[in-house]
Structure 1
Amino acid sequence: MSDLQHQVCADRIELSAHFLKAADKSLRTRPAQYRTAVSRYYYSMYHAARAVVYFAHGGDDHEKHSVLPTKLPADFPSSSYWQNELKDARLNRNSADYDPYPGAQAHWKGLANALSSTAPNFLQLATSYLKQKGCAHV
């Protein structure tokens, strides 16, 4: 894998961190923006997954949202667990972005709060995985 490909992985991790900060900020805003937070937490996870998949598959990041989780490498820690977490986060993001129901903030608050720990855990795991595999720029 070329140095440029290593940099692409690092840039994806950086973008993931950007979305994570945006999601956290959405939770701190008053009133909190729970739907926005759900969406941004998903995109944090999505870009971290793209970095891992890109590295594992030699430059193909399988960017399609429904395909990406299935391409996490078998040696990624708790791979099947994270495949399901990514799939669920995507479904919740779709609902948060496109569905008017449920309208109750409590529903979105619960999802956002759950993702507020899931997304940073996934980003940390993805970063550690890339470092362990020799990604030069993370």
Structure 2
Amino acid sequence: MKKGLVVYTTRTKDTEKIANLVAEGMRFGGMEAKVLNVKDVKNEQDLDGYDAYAFGAPTYHGEMLQAMKTFLFLAEKADLAGKIGGAFGAFGWSGESPDRIFDTMKNIFKMDMVSQSLRLKNAGLGGGVAMAQDYGRDMAKKAG
């Protein structure tokens, strides 16, 4: 069975909720899925053994949280080239973080990305639950 890893950072728990919904969608798509806070990833070996990766962070004042920036430098040391990737995050008035994560995964890590990043104001608003689950399903489908 294919395995997915969802890594997130959050300030108000909105991005954590999205992370869990993306993982749920991966499971609906027939993939095992593990969810980790960036604080629980200690080294690049913690990223070994997965077929798909979704990284998420909220946007605050037009910026990605520092914990995700630091994590991305760590993830750059892992061999993620060719792996399935996706990026997500919650936002208030702007939503740069998911796109910046997505671009890093695609252009720096050379990952095989899903169509685009997932940006939600809140998982519970405007069909956010279904959108996050569908994002995870799309990742599972792409992983085969």
Whether TM exceeds 0.5 here: the answer is: no
Q: Which structure's CA Rg is the greater one?
A: 1
